[in-house]
């Protein structure tokens, strides 16, 4: 995979280069800041970009803003963001942005080379990979909302199956209904949960977070529930 790295720490940047090259990936660029990021992406055509959340000159949100800009300008380009700490707002901004595959990992995870490389492969293949600590904080925030009260029992059942990772076809088979019916329920629950349209499937991740944040209870799955 052709990978671009944008990380201000020389030690971590070179470490990432070595780990990824040893795993067979090609590093097309390793930048210390996001100043020339857009131009370098255009010149090198990477298949994945890895960015630190906080970059020079202010070390606040340069990296996250660069990641959001990349996703807007290159919707099909997978992006992995690395952060020293959980940045809940930034994670939400990224997940709800329109774009291709996405990863948000704490830098501590890079120390586990095997898991890190597995995450790289998954993101490159189109998956959304979120650090467990990021998920935990998002769950805490979403547990405080009351959107779940808007859903019918059947919509809650469909949401629970989404949280289990089931496809629309698998949900239809589980509930003994048509895929069209499942799609109708999913459209309705997305609207009730205030999740904007997203062709890359991130709404399913956010919907699952809402479900899990409310304890993950699953209503009965029999045919009588509507």
Q: Which helix (H) or strand (E) holds 143?
A: none
Strand partners, 128: 102
- Same domain for 113 and 182, yes or no, is no
Structural domain contains residue 142: no
Say yes or no: 151 and 125 in one domain: no
pLDDT number for residue 196 = 74
Whether residues 18 and 81 fall in one domain:
yes
Distance CA(147)–CA(18), nearest Å, equals 46
CATH of the domain at 67: 3.40.50.2300
Q: Which of 33, 142, 9 is nearest to 88 (CA)?
A: 142
Q: Phi/psi at 26 (nearest 5 deg)?
A: -105, 125
26/4 Cα distance (integer angstroms):
9
Number of domains comprising the chain:
2
How far, in whole angstroms, is CA 146 from its chain's centroid?
A: 23
127 and 36 co-located in one domain: yes
pTM over 0.85? The answer is no
What pLDDT, on the 0 to 100 scale, is given for residue 226? 35
Residue-wise pLDDT tens digits, 10-37:
999 999 999 999 999 999 999 999 999 9
Confidence category of residue 144, pLDDT binned at 50, 70, 90: low
Q: Report the C-alpha gap between 87 and 94 in whole angstroms.
A: 11
**Do 125 and 208 lie in a common domain?**
no
| Chain segment 189-206, per-residue pLDDT in tens | 888 888 877 555 567 777
DSSP alpha helices (H): ranges in the chain? 10-22, 37-44, 62-73, 88-96, 113-124, 132-142, 153-163, 168-175, 179-192, 202-213
Residue 22 sits in which domain range?
A: 2-132
Instruction: Answer whether residue 137 is part of any domain.
Output: no
- State residue 108 phi and psi, 5-degree precision: -60, -30
Q: How many CB atoms lie within 10 A of CB 57?
A: 9
Number of neighbours of residue 36 by Cβ within 10 angstroms? 12
- pLDDT of 146 higher than 60: yes
Domain-terminating residue out of 100, 132, 164: 132
Residue 127 and residue 176 share a domain:
no
Are 207 and 123 found together in one domain? no
Query: Looking at the domain assignment, is residue 225 inside a domain?
Result: no
Domain C-terminal end among 103, 132, 161: 132
């Amino acid at each position: 995979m052709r990978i671009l790295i944008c990380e201000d720490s020389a030690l971590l940047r070179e470490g990432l280069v070595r780990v990824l090259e040893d795993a067979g990936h090609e590093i097309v660029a390793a930048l210390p800041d996001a100043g020339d990021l857009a131009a370098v992406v255009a010149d090198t055509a990477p298949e994945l970009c890895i960015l630190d959340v906080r970059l020079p000159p202010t070390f606040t949100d340069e990296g996250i803003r660069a990641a959001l800009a990349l996703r807007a300008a290159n919707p099909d380009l997978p992006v992995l963001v690395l952060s020293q700490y959980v940045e809940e707002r930034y994670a939400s901004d990224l997940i709800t942005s329109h774009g291709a595959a996405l990863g948000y990992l704490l830098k501590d995870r890079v120390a586990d080379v095997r898991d890190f490389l597995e995450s790289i492969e998954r993101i490159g293949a189109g998956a959304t990979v979120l650090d467990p600590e990021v998920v935990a904080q998002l769950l805490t925030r979403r547990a405080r909302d009351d959107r779940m009260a808007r859903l019918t029992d059947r919509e809650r059942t469909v949401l629970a199956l989404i949280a289990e990772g089931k496809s629309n076809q698998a949900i239809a088979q589980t509930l003994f209904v048509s895929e069209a019916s499942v799609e109708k329920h999913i459209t309705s629950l997305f609207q009730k949960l205030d999740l904007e349209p997203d062709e890359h499937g991130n709404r399913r991740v956010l919907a699952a977070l809402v479900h899990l944040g409310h304890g993950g209870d699953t209503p009965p799955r029999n045919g009588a529930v509507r």
